[in-house]
Amino acid sequence: MTDTELRVSKIENGTVIDHITGGQALNVLAIIGIDGSSGEEVSIGMNVPSDRLGRKDIVKVEGRELSENEVDVLSLIAPAATINIVRDFEVVEKHRVTRPKTVVGVLSCPNANCISTEDEPIKSRFDVLDDGVRCTYCETIIRDSIASHISAA
Ligand code: CTP
Ligand code: ZN
């Protein structure tokens, strides 16, 4: 995309999450715990044209460098996402997201009897499988619509 076609302006310092599966930008924000309430400057493009993906979403967070660990859980809903760290308007680091082995405190278990959903100080914990995630405590498996089980917001 040339500069004249930019829909969302460049950022000075922060993180650009690019090549997000079309339509998943709001779920991406929920996963990384950004809802605008603490004043973060966030730009979102949804379903913008992409050579590689056809349509993609893009999220730009000014003033925050998100770590690889923070964003790896995004791989569950946006496996092709790239994380660009920007300083002084230049991309200084570019990473692909990688699938984590476990996901702690981000998804909630759909099993109402699961110890992680009761009034206990226990964070949810899921093991990542090839085709979904499995609750470490009760072994319930989530395969479809993982995004609808996001608890972080
Ligand atoms: N970007 C930004 N602000 C900057 C620099 C880059 O918002 N100061 C955005 C670009 O618009 C792009 C992404 O960060 O969406 C990655 O930038 P860059 O690596 O320059 O673009 P590409 O080479 O097209 O990236 P890729 O090869 O990953 O598609
Ligand atoms: Zn469970």
Q: What distance in angstroms lies between residue 123's CA and the mean position of ligand 1's atoms? A: 35
Q: Ligand 1 pocket check: which of 18, 59, 66 to mutate, most ligand atoms within 8 Å of Cβ? A: 18
Displacement of CA 76 from its chain's centroid (Å): 8
pLDDT value, residue 3: 47
pLDDT value, residue 121: 84
Q: What distance in angstroms lies between residue 100's CA and the mean position of ligand 2's atoms? A: 18
Q: Which of 148, 114, 142, 110 is nearest to 127 (CA)?
A: 142
Go through the domains of the chain in sequence order and give each one's CATH number.
Answer: 14-96 (3.30.70.140), 102-149 (2.30.30.20)
Q: Which of 103, 35, 96, 28 is nearest to 59 (CA)?
A: 28
pLDDT value, residue 74: 92
Q: Which of 65, 21, 67, 59 is nearest to 42 (CA)?
A: 59
Q: What distance in angstroms lies between residue 86's CA and the mean position of ligand 1's atoms? A: 9
Q: Which two tokens stand for residue 80?
A: 């092709």
Residue 118: which pLDDT band, with cuts at 50, 70 and 90?
confident
| Atom from ligand 1 closest to the CA of residue 60 | 7
